[in-house]
Amino acid sequence: MPSNKDRLYVALYARASRPTMPGKEDTYHWALIVGLKIETDGSTGVRYHAKEWPRPEGGSTWLFEERSSRLLPSSMILVRIMVGKVTNRNRLVKSCEIRLSDKVSRDGTVLPG
């Protein structure tokens, strides 16, 4: 019987809006997905990604989002690549955790506290 354990995927999505960055880096959206190997109509996984949100006073901020998500393809997903098997989901999530106290530069690197 095949194993149906969690897998870690990298997903690339098309954005619905026009790119605004000079190099068009925001043409696409990246996410990490943890979900079962074998998908069914009702199967769900967890999507981890960062989103840029406008601030009321102007400018924007990046927020980390962890959300339950259906695993079947959406109209915006371009590709999903399996990175590997997940043997311990709690350890994986803990090692990738982004904290509210983390400061992230425009290029995505985490800056010292």
With b for 16 or more beta-carbon neighbours within 10 A and e for fewer, the 72-102 pattern comes to: eeeeeeeebeeeeebeeeeebeeeeeeeeee
pLDDT tens column, 54-97: 778 877 777 788 888 888 777 788 999 999 999 998 888 777 66
- Please compute the mean of the pLDDT values over residues 38-53 and round it to a whole number: 84
What is the reported pLDDT for 1? 45
3-class SS of residue 100: coil
Whole-angstrom CA distances from 44 to 16, 28, 34 are: 23, 23, 9
Task: Give residue 105's pLDDT.
Answer: 59
pTM over 0.85: no
Q: Between these two residues, 31 and 75, which has the higher pLDDT value?
A: 31
Across 29-34, average pLDDT: 91
More confident residue, 48 or 58: 48
User: Residue 2: pLDDT above 60?
Assistant: no
pLDDT: which is higher, 87 or 111: 87
pLDDT band at 108 (very low <50, low <70, confident <90, very high): low
- Map out the domains of the chain as residue ranges: 6-100
pLDDT for res 76: 87
Integer-rounded Cα radius of gyration of the chain: 16
